[in-house]
Structure 1
Amino acid sequence: MSEDPDFPKVNHALQVLRQARLSRTEAAAFMVGDLVYEMAATGLRATEIEEVLRLHGSQFPALAKTLRAERFAPPALWKTALGATETWIGLLD
């Protein structure tokens, strides 16, 4: 387990995304919407982590917005959000 201070946050985000994917649409939209703030690039993390968040961070608001508006999110949106989170975890190890 990583000793990076972001590890608990990103691990939590991964768990929330996995749970949201199995939840009802309304709950999933709320859960993913909360992650938008946790996954934002701040400029305070390591360069490679900030790059991942800049490249993929827009997927979290897009996923939440799609869930709210369309009451469904395509698998590709889920996959991208999960992939960004898993990449972030990989960088912390």
Structure 2
Amino acid sequence: MWIVDIAFTAAPERLAARPAHRERLTALHATGVVRMAGPLADDSGAVIVLEVSGRAAVDGFLAADPYFRMPGVEVRGVREWRPFLR
């Protein structure tokens, strides 16, 4: 699994792109690619947990979603995660 750490700024462009982004995440959740996703409680960013084969798949996921290229959205980190409980 992989954790994508996202930071938000006040740029309004991200809010316009968010509905399509959330629809995409919902569709990928139905297939098992997105395991969990959501904003942090203070809306300073978000976390997405992916179940994909490797970093190249994470990069493909990010490249396919225009939300990650919007002003106000910054991917701060991508880390592999190996949970022992699911």
Q: Which has the higher helix share?
A: 1
Short-chain TM bin: 0.3 to 0.5
Q: Which has the higher strand share?
A: 2
